[in-house]
Copies of this chain bind each other. A is one copy, B any other.
Amino acid sequence: MVQETTRERILKAARQLGYVANGAARALSSRVTHTIGAVIPRFGNSSFSGMAQALEQALAQAGFTVLIAAPDYRQSNETEILRRILERGVDAVALLGAVHAPTTYALLASHRVPYVLMWAQAIEGVPCVGFDERMAGALVVEHLAALGHRRLGFIGGRTSENERARLRYQGVVEAIARHGMTLCDGVVIETDYGFREGHDAMAQILGAGANVTAVVCGNDYLATGALAACDEAGVDVPQQVSIASFNDNDFAAYLKPPLTTVRLPIREIGTSAATYLVERLSGANPELHTQLPIELIVRRSTGPVPSSPIARADGQRS
């Protein structure tokens, strides 16, 4: 409600004087911060980093800044962390996963702040965005079944601490049962997601001469480490054992690739969460694509069951 020329003049002057608006005052008065809080376990060297990046990117385009906290499962008092973020002043919050303390939900509710759970399965009345982890597990197994594999091993995340690892594992187990396959005793290893962990787990499987024709890895960190262990042990993939994995990231694709990969829409989670929150804050009551599509990618499929498996049927178990 001011002349365009005047407007220009003022803005220019402000810029020259190095004027920077005081967001605290603005927030205090307008009750809007244009900031979104994000709480994720970590964003360095993990599957979450791509998601967080996508979230930030989409939010930035809509004019929002991201206040990020990555407790890395340490002093796991998530509620305290959330409180600090809320104190700091955010218009909305994005959390990771569906499993949160009641106090966290209570804080969210009492504060009346819009929020979204990322990488979470659908929950009644809670805005979630994720994908079907169990179906992801099933897709991998079904492909292996189609190739003729019967006896599988599994290296995955810790199911007791990690809902995603748990669901993924469940999907694998269920599919194995459906197809009359065997998840071999002692060849199911739970560990932290990491290169070294995948390496050590696979080395253990190889060292024990487990009687499996394929090993399913819970994510591509593990798969990458597993491939390295095979290489070290002189075990040919996939001639002697197949490795299947879930492609949270991209790096596994440029190595000696796993036989089967399910590409998981990790980045899409971030983008989708951002879109939801932005619309939500603009007054709309948007829907949320709780189940993002997932996709089976078969790279360099080199045939069915290994011709010379790493151990015979009488092989020891670890």
Binding site for B on A (CB under 8 A): 18, 20-28, 33-35, 42-45, 49-54, 56-57, 60, 65-72, 83-89, 106-107, 110-111, 195-196, 198-199, 221, 224-225, 227-228, 231, 249-251, 253-256, 267
Alpha-carbon gap, A267 to B255, bound state (A): 25
Q: Which residue of B lies closest to A112 (CB)?
A: B18
With contacts A44-B49, A225-B254 taken as known, whether A20 is within 8 angstroms of B87 at the C-beta atoms is yes
Alpha-carbon gap, A225 to B255, bound state (A): 7
Instruction: Give 6 closest A-B pairs by Cβ, nearest first.
Output: A44-B53, A18-B110, A24-B27, A195-B254, A24-B28, A44-B50
Chain B residues, CB < 8 A from A52: 43-44
Q: Which residue of B lies closest to A267 (CB)?
A: B44
13 residue pairs bridging A and B, Cβ less than 8 Å apart? A20-B86, A23-B24, A34-B88, A35-B67, A42-B53, A43-B43, A43-B44, A43-B49, A44-B51, A65-B68, A66-B68, A67-B68, A228-B254
In the assembled complex, how far is the CB of residue A174 from the closest CB belonging to chain B, in whole angstroms? 30
Chain B residues, CB < 8 A from A249: 45
Chain B residues, CB < 8 A from A106: 18
Q: Which residue of B lies closest to A82 (CB)?
A: B20
- B43, B53, B224: the one within 8 Å of A53 (CB): B43
- B28, B42, B255: the one within 8 Å of A25 (CB): B28
